[in-house]
Structure 1
Amino acid sequence: MKKALISIFTLCIANATMAKLDRNQTLKVMDHLFSIYEVEMQKNLPLRVELNWDSDKAQASIGQNDKEVHATVHGGLARLKYMSTDSLALILCHEIGHIIGGAPMVQPSRKYSSEAQSDYFANKTCFKRYMKSTSTESEMNLTPEEKRLCPEEDQACIRHLNAIKTESLSFKEAGLDYPTTLLTSSTHYASITLYNDYPDNVCRQETAIKGALDKERPICWYNSNEANMETGYIILKDAPEAQIVATVQDTKKWKHGCAYKVSFLELWNPSYFNPLSDREITQNYIHSYQTCKLSKGDTLSTVVTKVDERLYMNVESKDK
């Protein structure tokens, strides 16, 4: 992927000798995986990929604006004790999923596929495509019971579940409260599809397993009865906004969550460049992608953004 991959690194010998993956292994996974998806990811914007090998951050990230898609992998991620080439590929598949993983997307901006959908895409589609052109020498971390989640003698499935297990062990090492077995499942039921946040970690692992086994998305974050999910990626520009503190006058349910009508504005701080008027705020419902948590008379403190002629609360800046 000579056109798309720009690697930036400074080799640290002391860290490299302790690494689960070395710099060259990390670059090889990055180069191969992003090459597979280069055409799809660069359909609208050029792709830039960086390895920040000196960084001790155990993370990878991706973002886009109106000029490019930019992916970054930090060296601390590769140096986690349990990290393997397969688990690194799986993590990068999640990042790729944010750009081409489809619906459900973050709402209302639809700039990225949601966190849970990116997990599902990574396992349902991306990692399987990666496995077809690679082999593995990863240490086997699955128990006999975990192997039995796969059809008998399905080595590709066993390799995939082992990557999920190794990914979970790596996240646990990085300080996240991840399960260390693949035999747990989430007890949460999503009355509303989760668009704008991470599911709990048990649910995330369950999502990965469902994708690996070609099963439907789990109900811990996905509600299949929820109709009319908006699709199609967009990047918001010049969206009118204002910060408010107001009294809730009325609440109502809408198809994706709760909407609030406010009356008295204790605070109205409009955006300097793209102000949202106080009149428009008080005359329209403000929509949320969550269940109703406030009642009449309660105080609503939020940033209100106008998207497609509708008002929304707490649209994160990274999602615009």
Structure 2
Amino acid sequence: MKKFLILTCLLSSILTWSADRSRWEILPTDPTTSTINEDLFYSIINRVESLYRLEFAQKGIAVLFNADWDTSYFSAWAHNDNPPLFSLNFWGGMARIPGVNEYGWAFVVCHEVGHLLGGEPMNSLPHFAWGSAEGQADYFASAHCLKRYFEAFPYLGDEVHLGPGVIDKCNNDEHCLNSAKAAESFSKIITYLYRDTPALSLETPSTSVVEESVLASYPEAQCRLDTILEGSLCQNDFSSMEEWACLSGIGSRPSCWFKK
């Protein structure tokens, strides 16, 4: 999915844009609270690629991982180049958004992999029907990819505050705790890019119930965080690509975007 931030600026707004350049881009030399440096930016991408190399081959697709630390803008996207050739693309500006850490950046990379390996439901837009829907990519990221990632590459850095409700829900499950930390970091990306986003919290999950699955766009922001946390609670086998998703009950896709 292309996720470019497209800007159409009138001449009269150029000075305003220049004064707030960091709203639209973050250079490698700009100060930030992100803990992702250049080495970690590439390392996380390479690690995730290594975890799914076999699955890409089994699916009969070739995937190019294109990453550019120096690009200052905010984007990560999957692209249907010329099947069976696909690409996953990452710009450094997104990893430098304040609040991004290894948990959050691993989620972003896993989400893009989810567009290629997450399966149904697929995106309902004709030009993007080759890829899993956005909500399904979120679900795959936590129910499958993040679990693989943190088992292969254990990580104990970046103190992340989790609320008591989340800690109780996770009940000492490391997969759940890691995904909760990833959701907290990812929430910083959402609120940075979309400044009018209502307050997000894993302590207050969405109560929305959709009449049909959201397949042509992103689920609402809170619903995306809920999906990340819920996917982590699925106990199915994430070492396999067969029957890894929980179809009902704990760990299944939430009704705020998925119609069961």
Q: Shorter chain as normaliser: what TM range?
A: 0.7 to 0.9
Task: Encode CA deviations 1:272-308: one digit per residue, 9 max, x unaligned.
Answer: xxxxxxxxxxxxxxxxxxxxxxxxxxxxxxxxxxxxx
1:1-320 mapped onto 2 (5 Å cutoff): 14-15=29-30, 20-42=35-57, 43-64=59-80, 65-107=82-124, 109=126, 110-136=129-155, 137-151=157-171, 153-175=172-194, 177=197, 179-214=199-234, 215-224=251-260
Say whether the 8 Å CA contact 1:56–1:76 is kept in structure 2.
yes
Displacement of 1:67 after TM fit?
4.9
Structure 2 spans left out of the alignment, 5+ residues: 1-26, 235-250
Contact map agreement 1:78 1:88 (CA 8 A) in 2: yes
Determine which structure has the larger helix proportion and give its number.
2
Report the counterpart of residue 293 of structure 1 in structure 2.
Answer: none
Kindly state the Cα deviation for residue 132 of structure 1 after the two structures are TM-superposed.
Answer: 0.7
Distance in 1 between the 2:160 and 2:33 partners? 20
Q: 1:154 & 1:45 partners in 2: Cα distance?
A: 34
Determine the C-alpha separation between the residues in 2 that align with 1:55 and 1:105.
30
| Structure number having the greater strand percentage | 1
SS at match of 2:29: helix
Q: Distance in 2 between matches of 1:87 and 1:68?
A: 27
CA distance in 2, matches of 1:219, 1:183: 17
- 1:186–1:13 Cα change, 3 Å: closer
Displacement after TM superposition at 1:102 (Å): 0.6
Question: Residues 154 and 135 from structure 1, CA distance in 2 versus in 1: closer, same or farther, beyond 3 angstroms?
Answer: same
Would the aligned equivalents of 1:97 and 1:119 in 2 still touch at CA under 8 Å? yes
Percent identity (aligned): 27
User: CA 1:198 to 1:40, structure 2 compared with 1: closer, same or farther past 3 Å?
Assistant: same
Q: Give how far 1:178 is off.
A: 6.0
Higher deviation after alignment, 96-105 or 156-165? 156-165
**RMSD value over aligned CA atoms?**
2.1
Letter of the aligned partner of 1:55 in structure 2? T
Name the SS of the counterpart of 2:71 in structure 1: coil
d(CA) in 1 for partners of 2:254 and 2:87? 30
1 or 2 for the larger relative contact order (CA 8 Å, sep ≥6)? 2
Residues 48 and 188 of structure 1: CA distance in aligned 2, closer, same or farther (over 3 Å): same
Aligned pair count reads 212
Corresponding residue number in structure 1 for 2:245: none
Q: Given the two structures, how large is their TM-score scaled by the length of structure 2?
A: 0.75
How far apart are the structure 2 equivalents of 1:66 and 1:29?
25
Larger Rg: 1
Find the aligned partners of 2:159 and 2:198 in 1 and give their Cα distance: 19
Q: Deviations over 1:74-130 (max 9, x none)?
A: 111111121111211111111111101010112374311111111111111111111
State the alpha-carbon separation in 2 of the partners of residues 223 and 13 from structure 1. Answer: 42
- Structure-1 separation of matches of 2:226 and 2:188: 15
- Structure 1 residues 121 and 178: alpha-carbon distance in aligned structure 2, compared to 1, 3 A threshold: farther
Partner Cα distance (2:78, 2:117) in 1: 12
Amino acid at match of 1:36: L
- SS for the counterpart of 1:37 is helix
Cα distance, 1:119–1:16 mapped onto 2, change above 3 Å = same
